[in-house]
Structure 1
Amino acid sequence: MSKSKKTALITGSYGGLGTRFADIHAASGGDLILVGRVQTKLDAQAKEMEKKYHVTAHTIAADLSSPDAAQQIYNTCKENGWNVDYLINNAGYGGQGDFARERTMEQDLSMIAVNVETPTRLCKLFLPDMIKRGSGKVLNVSSTAATMPGPLQACYYATKAYVTSWSNAVSRELKDTGVTMTCLMPGAMSTGFANAGGLSDTALFANATDPTPVAQAGYDAMMKGKMNITAGLVGIQKIFMKLTPILPKKMLMDNVYNMQMRGSAKK
């Protein structure tokens, strides 16, 4: 399947990995549907993409924590005749804090909505169209956090475990349909994620990597129809990930807890 003239819908398009995905796809000649919360930021990004790459960039402003967001996005595409060839579920966020004593109900339920509910709804809506056409690709952005429990980010780690498990199961269900689903599992990256989640001064993000090669690895894996791709691990992170399946669970959780404590970057 040629990348040229294919349209990619990217959620969380103007931040972190989203800008990289938009650049990568547009650089190949593909059109864009940019999705995010703030219309002015979407407009600025669309203008830049069209000027720089000579592609068409549509925008949809939506609050992805709303249960109606996915239907709004799908309806907008249908009403305008925009076919989605690639669906990149990139939007997501985390947040540091003790589940029972620091994190609010609103914070965690909103996170679950953005990280789990809306990507699920988008796939429920767009996948049948792709299957009917016999072509299409989905890239779901998960995290290496999916492979372990995450004290001080309990809900975030759990949402990413869902994304990976769900993506892998659906990828098998899509066999022989002409449609593929790929799961990208990045390590810690230098994006706005750490600042937004109160994680910038933690050991977890002390050696955060450049998101550009991570986005490229994810995009390339999607194009090849791979099921999973892990990217952005540096140094000791690679060793830690290999040890994760065999470490005693309590030892693993102690390690993750200590890495995510505020101020741990300086320890």
Structure 2
Amino acid sequence: MNAETGKTALITGASSGIGQELAKLFAQDGYNLVLVARSDDTLDRLADVFKSNYGTQQITVIKKDLAEEDAAQDVYNQVKAKDITVNVLVNDAGVGLYGLFATDTDWEREKAMIHLNVLSLTQMTKLFLYDMLARNEGKILNLASLLSITPTPLMAVYAGTKAYVYNFTQSLVNELKETNVTITALLPNATDTDFFNKAGAENTKVTDEVQDPVMVAKDGYEALMAGKAKVVPGGLKNKSYEVLAYVAPQEALASLMHGKMSQKPQPEPENQDDKSSALTWGIGFGIAVLAGIALAVAYNNTSAVDKARYRYKAKSAGNALSDALSSVSDSLSSVLDSVVDVYQTARSKAEQLVPREEEVEEEVAA
């Protein structure tokens, strides 16, 4: 029997994706469950699976669209009416919307998204947190996003709602630090769920980088149980994105994210000449390496006069090679220029924040 048997976890958005994977982890650890989503049929099937596979004792299914007015209050009332004590609250339910804010997106859908991602999450947290503090026991997991810490053109309102979730959660971390109640923000990168299809962003470049919801849920679950303030799943790569979001200029981040959120280009037919050219370069490079090794051995075994003759020929060949490579250098110049521009901008921003050595000496002397 698990130590958590008898405790209850309430998970919103439990019918699919990260929410479903989190519900599975709670079931495996012996929690009773309250599953909330718009589809009660899906939740009923999940309940049967959890009872069969993990022996879950009590599963309560609540069909509710949390984008509706007072939906969070209704969920809370149903839970209280059943005399269920919620030990863990997971605010996973959320939606996105893709497109240019001024011209592409629909206000009614944006309003519903703000209600779901912000208002319902906040009200759910307020209602259940009050009871947790009365018991001085409980845990809350709020689903934010890596987009919560960076500007995101083409998903501006969604990113704004997640920025609220992250800031709200970290504020509560401080308010709760003298209690036995903890709250955790989960900041995943793009995840392989139905999110992008529902948001109308299924053909964006970022979908080539989606991560496994099982991994995201596992990292979030472990951080929640450890009482951590936040977690960025996915290892060093995603943590480097987090660091970049804190130190890079906002305009550079916005441009980067605009590129990631843009539509994938239409695939072009593969050019046979390009394949032949690539193969030729590859074979030629291999031959050049082998030839270089052979020449080096031969050179070391020649007389001083022959070595001088070879050095003269090598210089002439080097000049020709330099001319041939100049065109390659020109083709890369625009890319290098853009990298230098980003570096210089970031460096300028950093220098504005760090005092010069003379200023530090003057302050110390004062």
Residue 23 of structure 1 is matched in structure 2 by: 24
How far apart are the structure 2 equivalents of 1:265 and 1:157? Answer: 27
Partner SS for 2:115: helix
Structure 1 residues not aligned, in runs of 5+: none
Tell me: higher relative CO, structure 1 or 2? Use CA pairs within 8 A at least 6 residues apart: 1
Would you tell me which structure has more helix in proportion to its own residues? 2
For 1:188, give the aligned amino acid: A
SS at match of 1:103: coil
Segment of structure 1 superposing worse, 44-53 or 139-148: 44-53
Partner of 1:93: 95
Local SS of the residue matching 2:187: strand
Pair 1:240–1:126, CA change in 2 (3 A): closer
Unpaired runs of at least 5, structure 2: 269-366
Q: Looking at secondary structure, tell me which structure has more strand per residue.
A: 1
Query: 1:101-158 CA deviation, whole Å, 9 max, x = no partner?
Result: 0111111111111111101000111111111111000000100001111110001111
Matches within 5 A, 1:89-168: 89-168=91-170
Partner of 2:85: 83
The equivalences for 1:219-258 within 5 A come to 219-232=221-234, 235=237, 237-258=238-259
2:162 is aligned with 1:172: no
What is residue 261 of structure 1 aligned with on the other side? Answer: 262
Q: CA RMSD in A?
A: 1.8
**Higher Rg of the two aligned structures:** 2
1:182-197 equivalences under 5 Å are 182-197=184-199
2:72 to 65, 70, 73: 70
Partner of 2:322: none
Query: 2:253 is matched by which residue type in structure 1?
Result: L
Matched residue pairs, number? 266
The letter for the 1-side match of 2:9 is A
- Among all aligned residue pairs of Structure 1 and Structure 2, give the percentage whose two residues are the same amino acid: 36
Are the structure 2 counterparts of residues 30 and 81 from structure 1 closer, same or farther at C-alpha, using a change threshold of 3 Å? Answer: same
In 2, Cα distance between equivalents of 1:66 and 1:233: 36
Q: Is the 8 A contact 2:8 2:87 kept in 1?
A: yes
Structure 1 ranges of 4+ moved more than 6 A: none
TM (norm. structure 2) is 0.70
State the TM-score, normalizing by the size of structure 1: 0.94
Question: Which amino acid counterpart does residue 10 of structure 1 have in structure 2?
Answer: I
> Do the aligned partners of residues 197 and 51 (structure 1) sit closer, same or farther apart at CA in structure 2, a change above 3 Å counting?
same
Deviates more, 1:38-47 or 1:66-75: 38-47
Please tell me the residue identity of whatever aligns with 1:30. Y
Conserved? CA contact 1:188–1:233, under 8 Å: no
The whole-number CA distance in structure 2 between the counterparts of 1:258 and 1:213 is 26
Matches within 5 A, 1:178-217: 178-217=180-219
User: CA separation in 1, counterparts of 2:265 and 2:156?
Assistant: 18
Rounded to whole Å, the distance in 2 between the matches of 1:118 and 1:167 is 14
User: What is aligned with 1:44?
Assistant: 45
